[in-house]
Amino acid sequence: MSKAKTNVGRRSFIKSVGLAGGGMMIGFSWLYSCKETPKGEAIAALEMPENWYELNGFLKIGENGVVTIMSPNPEIGQNVKTSMPMLVAEELDVDWKNVIVEQAPLNTDIFTRQLAGGSQSIRQGWESLRMAGATAKHMLKQAAADAWGVPFGEIEVSEGILSHAATNQSAGFGDMAAAAASVEVPEEVELKEKTDFKIIGTSRKNVDAQKIVTGQPLFGLDYKENGMLIAMLVQPPAFGMQFKSMNADAVLKMPGIKEVFVMDTYKDVKGISAFDTTAFTKLPVVVGETTWQVLQAKKQLDVAWENAPDVTVEMNFFGRNTTKNYPAGLENSDTHFKIMAQEGAKNATVARKDGDPETQFKNAARIIERSYSCPFLAHNTMEPMNFFAHVTADEAKLVGPIQTPEIMEMSVSERLGLPKEKVDIMMTRQGGGFGRRLYGHFLVEAAVISQKTNTPIKLIYTREDDMTNGVYRPAYYATYRAAIDENNNVTAFHVNAGGIPESPLAANRFPAGAFEHYLAEQWEVESNITTGAFRAPRSNFIAGAEQSFLDELAEEVGKDPIQFRLDLLAKAESNPIGENNDYDAARYAGVLKKVRETSDWDTPKTGVSRGVSAYFCHNSYVAQVLDLEMKNNEPNVKEVFCAVDCGIVVNPDAAENLVQGGTVDGIGHAMYSAITFKDGQPEQRNFDTYRLIRHSEAPSKVKVDFVKSDINPTGLGEPPFPPIMGAVANALYKATGKRHYHQPFMGNQELKG
């Protein structure tokens, strides 16, 4: 067994002997990623203990053996709410049916990184959450040893039962909980060997599944309080415009309307957080009794808009101060792609250079060059943005779906002029995040409206508000070149990538390290259209472009696509070029070999066109083979084979679902989705014009195989999403003979770079 130090700071371990009912409560700042189960439910054969002593961020044990683990982090549908408590339960050696989990409110005094993003929850909590369970077990064992007068080392634990074989004594966790609460916290504890896991690696169903499918209130839109009013915002019709004036006389006479006013979300705030990103800060607000009344009034409000000037905003990104420029003007998608197609040749800067690629291109027998692009994308979470706020002179209570509660607490505190300890943010389950709810301006808006009206309010965005408000996935453009000599060998590789307003380039990822002569360049174009993290930021474009080019390059030199990649990875493993390659070539090759096997790649399939792709991001490796057939000149995705190396798989059920969901999501965005602009105005405002994948277009089967590993878990929510776009493009080429360079691939929305 390995040893783990428990002394990680004064606040990291909080013990209380004052629990009602004689229970044991242990608080851990390490539990920053655990998730919730509904409070007050009976579980299995045991009833809930009465009068739990509440504290933010803790593990508590009732007098009847029920174990509750608080979850500080937001749940956005990735199911860590189930998987993370499994880590604690494993080391605690409790019967899983006796474990419940509750959502903790924000508490920055106890927890760190109360954030959902970057596919980091399991990875960050792997050792600390296990340590939490192991520490509680140690204290329970010590209490039993003291009570029975036997050596600590002779106490055994199994499924919540403490026992001593020599004296034939046993007791449940609940019997020893009160005594354990007075045991001194050990300086270190033993963690299980991975071969001894009983819960980790086994499938456990979503702890909220029944509540979700029966429509019980879990989400922000479900939350209500007595006296609550509804608020909505009126946004400019286009990016590059701002509020000028309004006439609210008629609207104020409409049924149920209480107030109409203009709100400045970040008035007098200096150096806002990068997660406060919003295109429109000064907006009309309509407040009324019901959603329908406010919606109708909003439509009738007489508002005048004007062109906005250039704006420079000071921002703070995790302690690093920066500025963001939003140029004036009404932008157009046609212009965007013309600018991006030219920008790489004019203003690119070198991010990495190995060898002498210029000479290799000069002396090449032939050069293959291809350019790829993608449009802006809306996040389109199923639950539009919303938040409840009740602000008084003394405190602010906020409830709703947010991925960055800790950061938003600081934003609300500064904007309202309240101390942080007077800002109380409670997190609901979220109807999707995908990065959109990292940006919490809607939470600050709700707080400002409540403060202005001196009443509890629920701010609700309509679908049109949500889709046209910004914080989109950026638009990207990349050009790839390869030099080929007279012997059909690829001698140099060049990528030039940028976008609006950022570059998607990951200069040190594969195929960097596989070519002796390699050049990576990047650039960016400023815009007044707000953008932000979208599922697998930057990777969600560059993976598909890179993998499409590698397929075309493999065909150019007459090699099988998988073998071509494996040959490059073999070079990167045996004789890597450069010192900053950020991937493990052997693990990367491992998923390609596995998907070749599981998909039976080497055996041709009649009537089926196949595309392959693989990528490394968020510390994990994914390879995918997509089978496609044409029906009535339309592509039909039949099946996808996925091979994944994400280290130890904690909850196979949840992990498989994540891979399947990310795969279907990636197919849909590659094929159909786009946000385009005409004179600054989004041309897609709802799902009648913004195409998402439909049930009939999803693959009939997504087969997922995980590489067996004893490496600590890595990311999984995002890694399956980027590579599938390349597999789609490569399969489409096999089916139609046409290469697709510009997303979305299907329909009349395909944009030409």
Tell me, what's the pLDDT at 351?
Answer: 98
**pLDDT for position 1:** 66
Is pLDDT of 40 > 70? no
| pLDDT for the residue numbered 36 | 35
Q: What pLDDT does residue 10 have?
A: 32
Q: What is the pLDDT of residues 548-573, one digit of tens each?
A: 999 999 999 999 999 999 999 999 99
Is residue 160 domain-shared with residue 225, that is, in the same domain?
A: no
- Looking at residue 108, its pLDDT comes to 72
Q: Check residue 183 and give its pLDDT.
A: 85
- What does the pLDDT read at residue 428? 93
Q: How far apart are CA 410 and CA 183, in angstroms?
A: 37
Domain that holds residue 299: 220-313+385-460
Higher per-residue confidence, 579 vs 598: 598
Mean pLDDT, range 716-743, rounded to an integer: 97
Average pLDDT over the chain reads 90
Q: Residue 350 pLDDT more than 70?
A: yes
> Is residue 324 one of the residues assigned to a domain?
no
Residue 14 · residue 52 · CB < 8 Å:
no
Q: Which whole number is the average pLDDT over 313-341? A: 92
pLDDT tops 60 at residue 316:
yes
Domain annotation covers residue 466? no
Does 39 lie in the same domain as 98?
Answer: yes
d(CA 376, CA 250): 37
**Is the CB of residue 650 less than 8 Å from the CB of residue 644?**
no
Confidence tier at 56 by pLDDT (50, 70, 90): very low
The answer to whether the peptide bond before residue 744 is cis (omega within 30 degrees of 0) is: yes
Coil, strand or helix: which one is 391? strand
Whether residue 230 sits in one domain with residue 204: no
| 524, β-bridge pairs | 499
pLDDT at 59: 67
pLDDT tens, position by position, 160-214: 999 999 999 999 998 888 888 888 888 898 999 999 999 999 999 887 888 889 9
- Asked if residue 455 belongs to a domain, the reply is yes
Q: Among residues 188, 213, 238, which one ends one of the domains?
A: 213
In the predicted structure, residue 63 carries a pLDDT above the cut 80 = no
Residues 162 and 286 in one domain: no
In sequence order, the 6+-apart residues with CB closer than 8 A to the CB of 247 are 302
Residue 41: per-residue pLDDT:
39
Asked if 373 and 389 sit in the same domain, the reply is no
406 plus 516 within the same structural domain: no
With 60 as the cut, is the pLDDT of residue 679 above it? yes
Question: How confident is the model at residue 32, as a pLDDT?
Answer: 30
What does residue 61 show for φ and ψ, rounded to 5 degrees? -125, 125
State whether 449 and 482 are in the same domain. no
Report the half-sphere exposure of 135 (CA within 13 A, side-chain side): 32
Dump pLDDT digits (tens) for 81-121. Answer: 788 888 888 999 999 888 887 777 787 776 667 778 888 77
Residue 467 is assigned to a structural domain of this protein: no
Q: Residue 162 sits in a domain of what CATH number?
A: 3.30.365.10
Per-residue pLDDT band for 254 (boundaries 50, 70, 90) equals very high
The CATH number of the domain holding residue 420 is 3.90.1170.50
Give per-residue pLDDT as tens, 703-719.
999 999 999 999 999 99
Q: Which of 69-78, 312-321, 688-697 has the lowest mean pLDDT?
A: 69-78
Q: Whole-angstrom Cα distance, residue 704 to residue 643?
A: 6
Is the model's pLDDT at 132 over the cut of 90? no
How many CB atoms are located within 10 Å of the residue 166 CB? 9
**Domain stops at, among 213, 234, 259:** 213
Last residue of a domain, one of 412, 431, 460: 460
Q: How confident is the model at residue 48 (pLDDT cuts 50, 70, 90)?
A: low
Residue 136's pLDDT is 87
pLDDT computed for residue 613 by the predictor: 98
Looking at the domain assignment, is residue 297 inside a domain? yes
Say if residue 717 is in the same domain as residue 593: yes
171, two tokens: 């007791």
What tokens appear for 203 in the block? 């499938």
Predicted pLDDT at 47: 60
Regarding whether 281 and 362 lie in a shared domain, the answer is no
Q: What is the mean pLDDT of residues 6-24?
A: 43
Q: Shortest CA distance to 583 belongs to which of 575, 572, 594, 571?
A: 572
Tell whether 323 is covered by a domain.
no
**Whether residue 415 is found in the same domain as residue 479:** no
Residue 81's pLDDT is: 76
- 389 and 366 part of one domain: no
Query: CA–CA separation, 279 vs 530, rounded Å?
Result: 6
How many independent structural domains does the chain possess?
3
Q: Is residue 335 part of a domain?
A: no
Question: Is 682 in the same domain as 709?
Answer: yes
Prediction pTM value: 0.92
pLDDT on residue 517: 98
Contact 353, 535 (CB under 8 A): no
Predicted local distance difference test score (pLDDT) of residue 112: 65
Q: Residue 21: its pLDDT value, please?
A: 41
Look at residue 572 and tell me if it is in a domain: yes
- The answer to whether the CB of 625 falls within 8 A of the CB of 727 is yes
